[in-house]
Homo-oligomer: A and B are copies of this chain.
């Protein structure tokens, strides 16, 4: 939830959007280096060279900045998954790519730098709005691919679509949710392909 959706919009100049982006970019850099938990808005202000009051003009709290970073990160994961899915034409291949690309993108974005993992872990634990929205969009992507596969005759049509979507999303959870992924590192090489194969067998007409 960004402050713009919960607070009355303050009067802003045309450059406000840029300033917000600038704060988010600097905060991403700062949190990546020094961690999210321990950093205060004062630390951040000092590092960026803005006053604390100026930052508060744009974000109501540190979490509001964290949520923006989190939302950007999730959007990037989704963009990579979409790009990979777009390269496939058959629904089974699309489904395999969802498993593979989302695991790889999540791993790279959250674990290559453990400090961003910290924001992701807070987001997942406290179920920030960006996470709830991301999960819903992931289920929507699954739903689209499943519907396409049902129409093409690649996938069975007996099981209620919502049940199938929910179950497949549960199967993917250890590789999408950072809290589970941190304990699934041993299996990130093999598991997405093995699980995608199992899921595809479950979808055979």
| A-to-B contact residues, CB < 8 Å | 124, 156, 159, 163-164, 166-168, 170-171, 173-174, 177, 179-180, 183-184, 187, 191, 194-195, 197-199, 201-204
DSSP class of A's interface residues: helix, strand, loop or mixed? helix
Please provide the 9 A-B residue pairs with the shortest distance between their CB atoms, ordered closest to farther: A202-B202, A201-B202, A179-B183, A167-B198, A167-B194, A198-B202, A180-B180, A170-B191, A180-B183
* Cβ-defined contact, A180 with B174, below 8 A: yes
- The answer to whether B187 touches A170 (Cβ under 8 A) is yes
Minimum CB distance partner of A182 in chain B? B179
Residue of B whose beta carbon sits closest to that of A179? B183
Evaluate contact between A163 and B202: CB separation under 8 angstroms. no
- Given contacts A159-B197, A171-B198, A201-B203, list 11 more A-B pairs with CB under 8 A: A167-B194, A168-B198, A170-B174, A173-B184, A174-B174, A174-B180, A177-B183, A180-B183, A198-B202, A201-B202, A202-B202
- A32 vs B140: C-alpha distance in the bound complex, in angstroms? 43
> From A175, which residue of chain B is reached at the shortest CB distance?
B170
**How far, in angstroms, from A184 to B183 measured CA to CA in the complex?**
13
A198 CA / B159 CA spacing, docked (Å): 10
A161 nearest CB across to chain B (Å): 13
Q: Which residues of B contact A179 (CB under 8 A)?
A: 183
Q: How far is the CA of A177 from the CA of B163 in the complex (A)?
A: 24
Q: How far is the CB of A151 from chain B (nearest CB, A)?
A: 19
